[in-house]
Amino acid sequence: MELILSAGIGALTASGVYLLLRPRTYQVIIGLSLLSYAVNLFIFGMGRLRVNAPPIVEPGGGGDLARYTDPLPQALVLTAIVIGFAMTALFLVVILASRGFTGTDHVDGREQRGD
């Protein structure tokens, strides 16, 4: 399970960084999204991977911490997802504005030789 998760995070990060460095705004935003998915999974992984362990105390379940997983990273992921989503939406608006002003989807607002 650990191997699959870490490989997944690695693949997402690698594709995210590659796309982030590309010259088209659409590629940049997809790259940023992939990067934020990778980061969210990474935060989740920092609470350690546990199977069949709920993050909240069940009624009557008692206070035995060994039966539960760490709830804090899950709360952090939730916050990070919300913030990341809002920022992506905002970035999308700026991309559209840029497209409208310059008529191209190049990040520098003009086509360059060799792209």
Which stretches of the chain bind other proteins, using CB under 8 A? Answer: 20, 25, 28, 32, 35-36, 38-39, 42-43, 45-48, 72-73, 76, 79-80, 83, 86-87, 90-91, 94-95, 97-98, 101-102, 107-109
Q: Find the shortest distance in angstroms from Cβ 4 to other proteins.
A: 18
Closer residue to other proteins in complex, CB, 60/78: 78
Between the alpha carbon of residue 60 and those of residues 50, 82, 100, the distances in Å are: 21, 32, 59
Going from the C-alpha of 71 to that of each of 85, 91, 111, the distances in angstroms are 21, 30, 48
Nearest-angstrom CA–CA distance, 32 and 20: 6
Tell me how far apart the alpha carbons of residues 83 and 19 are, in angstroms, rounded to a whole number.
Answer: 21
Nearest distance from C-beta of residue 87 to other proteins, angstroms = 6
Q: Which is nearer to other proteins, 56 or 72 (CB)?
A: 72
